[in-house]
């Protein structure tokens, strides 16, 4: 009996074991790929992080690329789900505020995922290219249309919807991807709860403060 295959002393079925092991490997892989990049994130390092032998990683994922592909897909799907909050019918500023809040929450909750994605794009998206050309492309076009609709309806000051989206993505993800730099400039300490709240307020004010119609 493997000690990993129980929770609170209760033995797990093979189904549960499989799910648990895959999840553990995926979490370790996300961290290791974030910290060392794709090439530097070796299977043995991922295995050590997960506390299992290297061979066991290969057993659950056909090869390194397949494992990496799942890690990248995970964070993309999480972001996509969060992005669907920008609904056409809501108040523009409220919708964009929610989106920024959610993105910053994710930057805090899943920094490794954000870093893996950043790494992937920096290196030319050898794996994620399909996501970019299909899902991200259509999603972006949709949201730009929504924002342009708001502008035409007079609910939002005229701005470049595309560059607004890019600014939201870059600023929010910056707090994950460059978290180490930010922590170093914060006396080496990661942000506290209060500092994350200040960040939300500041980012929203900077990016959205100028978009409200009839502003002061």
Tell me the site size for a copy of itself, rule CB under 8 A: 52
Give me the least distance between CB of 114 and DNA, in Å please.
22
Give me the least distance between CB of 30 and DNA, in Å please.
15
The entry of a copy of itself, DNA, none that residue 214 binds, CB within 5 to 8 Å by partner kind? none
Give the footprint of DNA on residues 54-113 (CB under 7 A).
54-56, 58-60, 63-65
- Binding region for DNA (CB under 7 A) out of 7-15, 91-99, 184-192, 208-216: 7-15
- Binding region for DNA (CB under 7 A) out of 52-60, 69-77, 85-93, 185-193: 52-60
3-state secondary structure the chain: CCHHHEECCEECCHHHHHHHHHHHHHHHHHHHHHHHHHHHCCHHHHHHHHCCCHHHHHHHCCCHHHHHHHHHHHHHHHHHHHHCCCCCCCCHHHHHHHHHHHHHHHHHHCHHHHHHHHHHHHCCCCCCHHHHHHHHHHHHHHHHHHHHHHHHCCCCCCCCHHHHHHHHHHHHHHHHHCHHHHHHCCCCCCCCHHHHHHHHHHHHHHHHCCCCCCCC
- Binding region for a copy of itself (CB under 8 A) out of 14-22, 60-68, 98-106, 131-139: 131-139
Judged by CB under 8 A, does residue 59 bind a copy of itself? no
Give the footprint of a copy of itself on residues 75-114 (CB under 8 A).
none
Query: Residue numbers of the site for DNA (CB under 7 A)?
Result: 1-2, 4-5, 11, 13-15, 17-18, 21, 41-45, 52-56, 58-60, 63-65
């Amino acid at each position: 009996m493997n000690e990993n295959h129980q929770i609170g002393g209760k033995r797990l079925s093979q189904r549960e074991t499989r799910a648990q092991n895959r999840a553990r490997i995926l979490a370790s892989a996300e961290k290791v790929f974030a910290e060392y990049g794709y090439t530097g994130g070796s299977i043995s390092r991922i295995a050590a992080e997960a506390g299992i032998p290297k061979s066991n990683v290969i057993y659950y994922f056909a090869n390194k690329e397949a494992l990496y592909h799942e890690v990248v897909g995970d964070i993309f799907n999480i972001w996509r789900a969060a992005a669907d909050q920008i609904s056409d019918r809501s108040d523009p500023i409220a919708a964009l505020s929610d989106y920024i809040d959610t993105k910053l929450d994710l930057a805090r909750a899943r920094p490794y995922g954000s870093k893996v994605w950043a790494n992937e794009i920096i290196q030319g998206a050898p794996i994620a290219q399909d996501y970019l050309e299909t899902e991200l492309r259509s999603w972006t076009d949709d949201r730009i249309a929504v924002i342009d609709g708001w502008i035409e309806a007079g609910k939002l000051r005229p701005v470049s919807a595309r560059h607004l989206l890019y600014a939201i993505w870059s600023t929010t993800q910056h707090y994950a991807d460059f978290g180490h730099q930010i922590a170093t400039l914060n006396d080496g300490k990661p942000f506290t709860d209060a500092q994350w709240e200040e960040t939300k307020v500041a980012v929203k004010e900077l990016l959205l403060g100028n978009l409200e119609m009839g502003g002061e």
